[in-house]
Structure 1
Amino acid sequence: MGPVTAPLRLALAGPAEREQIYRLRHAIYAVELGQHRPTPEGRLTDALDPTNDYLVALNGSTVVGFVSITPPSAGRWSLEKYLDRDRLPIRPGESVFEIRLLTVPGGARGGRMAAVLMAAALHRVRVAGGDRVIGMGRREVLGMYRRAGLRPVGLPVTSGAVHYEVMTASVAELVAAAAGHPGVTAALTAAVWDVAGVPAPTADWCSPEPSTATEPVGTDDGCFHGGAFFAAIGEDFADLDRRHGVVNADVLDAWFPPAPGVLDAVSAHLPWLLHTSPPTGASGLVAAVARAWSVPPAAVLPGAGSSALIYLAFGRWLTAASRVLLPDPSYGEYAHVLERVIGCQVDRYPLHRNDCYDLDAADFVRRAARYDLAVLVNPNSPTGRLVDTAELRTALAELPASTRIWIDETYLRYAQAADATPGLPVAHHLGSVAPFAAASSSVFVVTSLSKAYALSGARVAHLVGPPEAIAELRRWSPPWAVGLPTQVAAVRALEDPDYYQRRWQRTAVLRHRLADGLTALGLDVVPGVANFLLAHLPSSGPTAADLVSRAAAHRVFLRDVTSMGTVLGERAVRVAVKDEDGLARILSVVQTVFTDRETPARRR
């Protein structure tokens, strides 16, 4: 099949085009890729063909590309041949379309054809009122699907000799991703559109739907937080014993349990804790935080995790007209809330690999003076790098009151322990800028107790800032924002700093062990001070997406951090520190992936 010479035409397949499709499917998926056994008649069809729509790209009368769309009315998906529907990441009531069999044969490969077909399918799904797209993509071309806005969910599928990853995205996410590829839009709108009942896409086809004044700019959850490991356990919680053998290094949960006093208090009083309403404003927790961080209680606002406080504060402070400065890379929740929920103008402060992703505190704060808000995660995620807090306080002293600085110290406890003297008591506020924030006019420090205090499942965090500003946010915080079991667990955790100090020091030892192991396997490890490491994969090996998907098949879950910034590239992974057995599993699986590389099938 030669290159496209006539104007490209996009249409729904009729009988003649379907016959070409069935023969192309056989040539590619049976003969070329080995997914199916060859048939004597040289055709491949399946039970979904009567209900599928095929969107085809035509060069004259010749099919030069196609993609299959399964509407919700079909009642089933091709994916259900491999996985039960209840394992798939969809919400009740969503209108979900399956997109599959994205295929570009022979001589038409190498250009934008696949991307144009994906965009055309998205346009058709959007016009039909679809909420979500689901499908599976070959591991070798996951980068293409990611650029289109799809994301793997940690469910690998093997069909014949071909390995796939289940992927999904909301229609809103895909439209937002399409807006970043003007070349694809130009090619799509230049094609002859011949799809009955669907208006032709225009140059602004991927603009967001108009919103009313009461709707947020982004209405979808949008931000991927890791946690793909839960698919291996089951989000219906039917069999929690399935957690055994799963290494959840894609999230930054502590590898150790909460302090004994936490477990004793919660287990001894659990029935009462579950059926009793908590103190409305979590006053006991506020007092415990104030003591531990040496700040006045009036400067403390508790919340159900740092995300709850981010949404609360940013939603009150910012509008679409606000300007925000954000390091790149950084924790993805911030870019999501600022850009996609509120719609702020966000400028990136790039951090560079050659500089070990270090941030110049004085320069950052100086530039922040021109913005309404600046955000700093310290230590940063995903890099694990720490800004010296003494330098940071010095820089903050020059900050104008018109600029708010939001500092996220979720991982600071680990950094403090890295250089702490064994046997000496730890002060929770050591190295924190929280006391400075409490006395300032525009500095705020958020700290999650999830990661360093082994309370991820409890969802608890606090914000420290100027008492007047905290009082204003408290008026907008709902009553009973933190549950009773969580309040008790957090208070007990803060009463046992010595236990956690030992765990944090042990984390440093395990982190060094993980770094040595990854380095020995050929990864370029960024020295970090938290409970995780950022590592760059060799240029000659698998991409981060490939490593993550193959590791998931071994029930070891790692984090591809491509989406956490614009400077990391497609070969950066973040790996959480785990206990000795967990680290051994991680290193063994990474070595297996590196030494047992499959011969990539030819790109279609």
Structure 2
Amino acid sequence: MTSQNITVRLATRSDRNQIYKIRYQVYAEELGQHQSNVFRKLQDNLDEFNEYVVVKYFDTVIGFVSITPPNDTGYSIDKYVSRSEIPLSFHDALFELRLLTVVEEWRHSIAILLLVYGTYKYLKLKNASEVIAIGRAEIMSLYEGLGFKTLGKRILSGKVTYELMYIDDKSFEESARRVLERYASEKYARVFDTLNVSQNHAYHGGQFFKAIGENFSSLEKAADIINADVLDAWFDPAPEVIQQITRFLPWEIRTSPPTHCAGVLEEIASNRKLPQENIVLGAGSSDLMFRAIMHWVKKEHKVLILDPMYGEYAHILENIVGCEIRRFCLDESNAYQVSLNKLREKLHQGYDWLFIVNPNSPTGHLTDPTGLRELVRTIAPKTRVWIDETYIDYVDSSHSLERLACQLDNLVICKSLSKAYALSGLRSAYLCSNSALIRDVARVTPPWILSLPAQIGTVFALRNSDYYALRWKETNELREGLKALLSQINIKVISGTANFLLCKLVGTDMTAKTFIAKCQEKSLFLRDVSSMGSRFDPYTFRISVKDISTNKRMAVIMSEVLQEL
């Protein structure tokens, strides 16, 4: 074999057909765990939401591991052992591994070690803290060598005896490191990188700049590409915004802006009916996230976030702050809605911070503002709540909880003006909270935080509320029109209340990654959502709403890609 023909990756739908056949060959015919069946395949109800890490030689699956994420249905061990008999707590960062399998002719190859490393990278991406596993008793030495510890429970299934085991994230990381050090030679280095997960920064859209050139060498191409991988407004800023910026542009470029953005603060306070002392500005919401979260959240804090949700939050909290994060998992079966009753129960476990995006990105779901208001008012005072309301104007500006944030000690509202006001290129946002928290962040806010064009753009955008209200209403109509177009080409739309839609490919083996890549060849850029949480299958993606002609053009391109199969 040659290493260039081996890959380790997450299974696709077509890979699963091979997996189910291999499961039958190994666990029914070879090991006698299951009875024979006419289909010569083995599946179970967990396959509905399981993930498989697979090792492939060319297009042939030669080994796999089944991974069951936290879910409401349960784990495979629930069929054999009562949870009360297991000396572990069951929580939303506990994953189950099973079915570590390599086909016979590859059992003495590097395949099993690639599965170990690929599984580690998957669990790292999903923020797993503990893993429970069942493994065949006769290969326990393999598991123990990887750092697994037995839990004293043996399970008999057919003719096969299993051991119940667990491992924590640190021990699994150490095992993966040993595997990498020993086997990631020049020969196999590329193979280990085929399931690459970067932790240096969060993944974002904006891939369309590859076509334009990040050195801006081909700005004329901007008219030819469709940047539906970012959530920039499809409409232009209010005419007065453009007039005021362009009228004095040379002067604005060469002139230092007001040091502390006094005019912007005054305009936000007036427009939103907020006290100025409850507002602090940022050059976009990402600036505020990095500055405030890193200032407020400590490594020893316990933090709850939604899953799925905008990936920058998990990145900052886990990879920069390094605090303990737990995930409140949302399910496709109910359109990724947030159950406030279940969320309240979860918060009873004791958290220092709760982070929410509302409406959520990338799901588009709006959590009931009235219920959310009641939740914030009545949870434990020690729990602070950060709500990102970047897209709430597309639904109804009155749903914002920013005025409530001025009254409470534990609520922070993050408000980007970039998306709803068509100011993404200028970068403008603010935090709203009680005056003590705002003063705390203001101390680490540099002077001239907004450029002069950004300050001017923000002021005149806020003075043109009627213009933007019409654009937001039109956006909702365009979103429903795009939804109808997508349904005609066999793309399932999961939900949406803002300027984007979460979508899913159905009736095809093509994954979202492949689909996105093929659309890029036709100058349509879509958003890969795999970095935004652990709840998506490989067929889900996000698309932003555009004007009516561009929406039609996007549907045509996507239809062409699907027909090329």
Fold in common (TM above 0.5):
yes
The normalised TM-score by structure 1 is: 0.64
Aligned 8 A contact 2:485 2:552 in 1: no
Could you tell me how far apart the structure 2 residues matched to 1:281 and 1:326 are? 32
1:585 aligns with 2:553: yes
**Change in 2 beyond 3 A, CA 1:365/1:576:** same
Residue 531 (structure 2) aligns with: 563
Match among 388, 393, 414 for residue 368 of structure 2: 388
Once the two structures are superposed, what CA deviation does each residue of 1:1-59 show, in whole Å capped at 9, x if it has no partner? 7xxxxxxxxxxxxxxxxxxx6xx98x99xxxxxxxxxxxxxxxxxxxxxxxxxxxxxxx
Match among 540, 548, 563 for residue 516 of structure 2: 548
Match among 531, 544, 547 for residue 499 of structure 2: 531
The residue identity in structure 2 corresponding to 1:487 is Q
Aligned 8 A contact 1:328 1:350 in 2: yes
- Larger deviation, residues 221-230 vs 496-505: 221-230
Match among 448, 463, 468 for residue 480 of structure 1: 448
Match among 492, 500, 505 for residue 473 of structure 2: 505
The residue identity in structure 2 corresponding to 1:348 is R
* Matches for 1:127-526 after TM superposition, within 5 Å: 221-365=200-344, 367-368=346-347, 370-416=350-396, 428=397, 430-526=398-494
Equivalenced residue count is 423
Could you tell me how far apart the structure 2 residues matched to 1:230 and 1:145 are? 32
The residue identity in structure 2 corresponding to 1:508 is N
The residue identity in structure 2 corresponding to 1:230 is F
Once the 2 structures are TM-superposed, how far is the Cα of residue 195 of structure 1 from its aligned partner?
A: 7.9
Identity %: 36
**Change in 2 beyond 3 A, CA 1:402/1:178:** closer
Could you tell me how far apart the structure 2 residues matched to 1:557 and 1:517 are? 17
Once the 2 structures are TM-superposed, how far is the Cα of residue 219 of structure 1 from its aligned partner?
A: 11
Could you tell me how far apart the structure 2 residues matched to 1:522 and 1:145 are? 34
The residue identity in structure 2 corresponding to 1:511 is R
Could you tell me how far apart the structure 1 residues matched to 2:507 and 2:174 are? 28
Could you tell me how far apart the structure 1 residues matched to 2:517 and 2:119 are? 15
Could you tell me how far apart the structure 2 residues matched to 1:259 and 1:271 are? 20
The residue identity in structure 2 corresponding to 1:391 is G
DSSP-derived class of the 1:569 partner? coil
The residue identity in structure 2 corresponding to 1:444 is V
Could you tell me how far apart the structure 2 residues matched to 1:398 and 1:595 are? 53
Could you tell me how far apart the structure 2 residues matched to 1:187 and 1:118 are? 10
- Larger deviation, residues 458-467 vs 288-297: 288-297
Once the 2 structures are TM-superposed, how far is the Cα of residue 537 of structure 1 from its aligned partner?
A: 1.2
Could you tell me how far apart the structure 1 residues matched to 2:236 and 2:171 are? 44
Residue 420 (structure 1) aligns with: none
The residue identity in structure 2 corresponding to 1:555 is S
Aligned 8 A contact 1:303 1:462 in 2: yes
DSSP-derived class of the 2:306 partner? strand
The residue identity in structure 2 corresponding to 1:400 is A
The residue identity in structure 2 corresponding to 1:395 is L
Once the two structures are superposed, what CA deviation does each residue of 1:158-202 show, in whole Å capped at 9, x if it has no partner? xxxxxxxxxxxxxxxxxxx999778866765786x9889x9xx9x
Residue 60 (structure 1) aligns with: none
**Change in 2 beyond 3 A, CA 1:471/1:377:** same
Could you tell me how far apart the structure 1 residues matched to 2:62 and 2:341 are? 49
DSSP-derived class of the 2:399 partner? coil
Unmatched runs of 5 consecutive residues or more in structure 1:
2-20, 29-101, 124-142, 151-176, 202-217, 417-427, 598-604
**Change in 2 beyond 3 A, CA 1:389/1:229:** same
The residue identity in structure 1 corresponding to 2:205 is G
**Change in 2 beyond 3 A, CA 1:195/1:532:** closer
The residue identity in structure 2 corresponding to 1:559 is R
Aligned 8 A contact 2:302 2:324 in 1: yes
The normalised TM-score by structure 2 is: 0.69
Once the 2 structures are TM-superposed, how far is the Cα of residue 581 of structure 1 from its aligned partner?
A: 2.3
Aligned 8 A contact 1:273 1:484 in 2: yes
Once the 2 structures are TM-superposed, how far is the Cα of residue 364 of structure 1 from its aligned partner?
A: 2.2
* Matches for 1:68-147 after TM superposition, within 5 Å: 104=57, 109-110=62-63
